[in-house]
Amino acid sequence: MNCSHTSRRDFVRSFVAGSLLMPGIVSELLAESGAAPAGDPLAPKAPHFPPKAKRVIFLFSSGGVSHVDSFDPKPRLIADHGKQIEADHPEIKNRAGYEKIFLKRPQWDFAPHGQCGTEVSALFPHIAECVDDIALIRSMHTSHSNHYNATLGMHTGSFAFARPSIGAWMSYGLGTENRNLPSFITIAPFMPYAGSQVWASDFLPAAHQGTLVVPGAEPVANVQRRVASARLQELELAALHDLNAPHLAARGDDPVLAARMRSFETAFGMQMAVPDAFDLAGESDATLALYGLTRGQTTGFGWQCLAARRLAERGVRFIELIDTGSSGNWDSHGDMMEHARLAKNIDQPIAGLLRDLKQRGMLDDTLVVWTTEFGRTPFNNTADAKGREHHSWAFSSWLAGAGVKAGIVHGETDEHGMRPVRDAVHVHDFHATILHLMGLDHTRLTFRNSGRDYRLTDVSGEVVRGLLA
């Protein structure tokens, strides 16, 4: 065979034509050669500009974490405890029993931490030790005070209608680095508000939807190979492809059928890669202790965080960890002391994740995001009420890692924590900033559907430059 005029690109094209599978190897060759097959939605894509981050770990505490009890200290709220106020608030308007409202002091004390001196409450003692790596936003606000709508908005940028989630947009914009694993994985023990819509791809190609992983002995169902030989399974899948390809061609390359065919290849790759990704047996005792885990444990937020680090190492582009708790969530209407139990579940694991990424050098190119859907009211219908109501006007979130200005506080709420008074950050701004750190211009990351161009940030949103290093 005369190979004198055979280029690497020609070799890759012929290799792809002759071999259906081995997706992990093929994707690397395709990325290097530029010979990605037409219509492959997961092929690696160049960002709009050089990115600061290669991947995102998105931590979502479902239910509404109280900002005035966690990351937003308000001495005046303490001093004015019991003072009657007036507020045209969506959660109390025309609500019986809320004709009068009174300020309610925080139930945990705040203290400065780290070299930067950022104040954090006693709810999160471990995260407080990591503030020198965190850019804390105290001026977040959102467009709805209902759990469903606010959760949908935080994930999709839409507060009323189903739209692609941020992870799906990230997959669509950048493709994947590892064809043996999904580009977007969500780890959740229980279904959050808005259900599977928070990781759905909606009108984007179905290949970009998140893959749900449920902590436990079998985090991904049916991942064990049905046959002993990977080669035999590859031959079976190739035969199935030979049957499906003409079926697809005869139907105008239907995108749903194409996505189903790709799902078989993805499943094959996952059977090769998933068992190893979720096998923590090789992790040291010191690493397990960092996350608050015992050897053999397969549940809890510590397991979710360590699994996220392992998936990040293996090239998964967007990993979301949903903190829904083992019983209930952060929706503390009846008793704010529920926050203490819930904070204990996530405080050490999140701090452990930040420390683990940092000591491995991964925090330099990994963006870690923590948020909730909204805050909780600095008032209630009595000053001694045990709980707090939903509060869309203000809440706190934070970023850490690649491209983030560490050890800062961005924005400010008023003296009682009711509304932002400086550098307000809407959910659309939050999304625009996350995309920017991944090298994506939120105004250019669009998809045409039903006659118009859609984007994650709808028709607004600005990158928060004050958060960028």
Q: What is the CATH number of the domain that holds 204?
A: 3.40.720.10
Domain that holds residue 17: 1-38
Its sign, for the CA torsion 23, 201, 193, 400, is positive
The predicted structure's pLDDT at residue 258:
75
User: For residues 217 and 298, what is the distance between their CA atoms, to the nearest angstrom?
Assistant: 6
Same domain, 264 and 356: no
Q: Could you report the average pLDDT of every consecutive run of 10 residues in the chain (469 residues)?
A: 43 38 40 47 93 98 97 98 96 93 97 98 98 98 97 97 97 92 94 95 94 91 68 78 84 75 73 85 97 96 98 97 81 96 97 98 98 98 96 98 98 98 98 98 97 96 98
The predicted structure's pLDDT at residue 67:
98
The predicted structure's pLDDT at residue 170:
98
Same domain, 290 and 268: no
Q: Provide the token pair at 283.
A: 């992790």
Residue 348 CB partners (closer than 8 Å, separation 6+)? 126, 291, 292, 302
Same domain, 241 and 365: no
User: For residues 304 and 163, what is the distance between their CA atoms, to the nearest angstrom?
Assistant: 26
Same domain, 32 and 48: no
Pairing of strands 101-103, 84-85: antiparallel
Judge whether 382 and 447 are in contact, CB under 8 Å: no
**Structural domains counted in the chain:** 3
Same domain, 105 and 214: yes
pTM, entire model: 0.87
Same domain, 233 and 367: no
Residue corresponding to tokens 């505490």: 61
Buried b (16+ CB within 10 A) or exposed e, 368-399: bbbbbbbbbbbbbbebebebbbbbbbbbbbbb
The predicted structure's pLDDT at residue 246:
86
The predicted structure's pLDDT at residue 13:
40
